[in-house]
């Protein structure tokens, strides 16, 4: 439970906001805005997501990562939040974290778009 230790309606509210951004992007109404919210680690949507990741990590003792949606171009080899290298070298070896990119420090993962 993410709100006051008794409720999680705040997390459900975030989920609704994410779905709204997803619809904006895929339905082409506010496409750029929806994309920025889901792709930029510094967007309000992403910042809240990372706060929930932190809360859930604290409560469970397990790491929680936030997926940054990528569509228009490939990700750079450095984490968009901290600037450290984030290409997932273990991707081919271990399927534990199956994403193309992972930053353990920022708790972010991403994939390159499939064109």
- Residues near Zn ion (CB under 5 A) are 79, 81-82, 103, 105-106
Instruction: For the chain, give the secondary structure using H, E and C.
Output: CCECCCECHHHHHHHHHHHHHHHHHHHCCCHHHHHHHHHCCCCHHHHHHHHHHHHHHHHHCCCCCEEECCCCCCCCCECCCCCCECECHHHCCCCCCCCCEEECCCCEEECCCCC
Q: Do 34 and 21 contact (CB within 8 A), yes or no?
A: yes
CB of 48 to Zn ion, least distance (A): 17
CB of 6 to Zn ion, least distance (A): 32
Nearer to Zn ion, 8 or 99 (CB): 99
Nearer to Zn ion, 24 or 88 (CB): 88
Nearer to Zn ion, 59 or 76 (CB): 76
CB of 101 to Zn ion, least distance (A): 10
Nearer to Zn ion, 34 or 81 (CB): 81
CB of 87 to Zn ion, least distance (A): 12
């Amino acid at each position: 439970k993410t709100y006051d230790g008794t409720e999680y309606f705040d997390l459900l509210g975030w989920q609704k906001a994410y779905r709204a951004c997803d619809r904006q992007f895929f339905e082409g109404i506010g496409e750029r805005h929806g994309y920025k919210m889901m792709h930029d680690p510094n967007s309000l949507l992403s910042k809240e997501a990372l706060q929930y990741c932190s809360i859930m990590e604290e409560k469970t003792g397990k790491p929680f990562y936030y997926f940054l949606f990528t569509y228009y171009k490939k990700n750079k080899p450095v984490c968009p939040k901290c600037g450290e290298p984030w290409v997932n070298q273990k991707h081919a070896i271990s399927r534990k974290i199956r994403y193309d990119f992972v930053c353990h420090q920022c708790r972010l993962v991403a994939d390159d778009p499939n064109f």
